[in-house]
Amino acid sequence: MRFISGLCLILLLGNFAAAQQQSGHYPQGAEGLKGATLPPPGTYLKWYNIAYDAGTLRDANGHTVPAGLDLDVFITAPRFIKMTDIKILGADYGFDVAVPFVSVDQQVSALGIKQYKSGIGDILVEPAILGWHFKQCDLGLAAGVWCPTGDYESTSPVNVGKGYWTAMFSWGGTLYFDEEKTWHLSTLCRYESSSTKTDRDIRPGDCFHIEWGLGKTIAKNWNVGLTAYTFWQTTRDSGSAVNYNNSIHDSFYALGPEVNYFYAPYKTIFSVRTQTDMGVIGRTQGQNTVISLTKIF
What is the rounded average pLDDT for all residues in the chain? 89
Instruction: Name the CA radius of gyration of the chain, rounded.
Output: 20
More confident residue, 231 or 13: 231
Other beta carbons within 10 angstroms of residue 211's beta carbon come to 27
Among 162, 181, 209, which residue's Cα sits nearest to residue 30?
209
With bands split at pLDDT 50, 70 and 90, how would you rate the model's confidence at 6? Answer: very low
Supply φ then ψ for residue 280, to 5 degrees. -80, 135
Contact status, residue 129 vs residue 94, Cβ threshold 8 Å: yes
> Is domain 2-296 annotated with CATH 2.40.128.130?
yes
Q: How far is CA 290 from CA 47, 118, 184, 190, 208, in A?
A: 10, 19, 20, 18, 20
| Predicted model pTM | 0.88
Judge whether residue 21 has pLDDT over 90: no
Other beta carbons within 10 angstroms of residue 170's beta carbon come to 22
More confident residue, 245 or 250: 250
Mean pLDDT for 162-167 is: 94
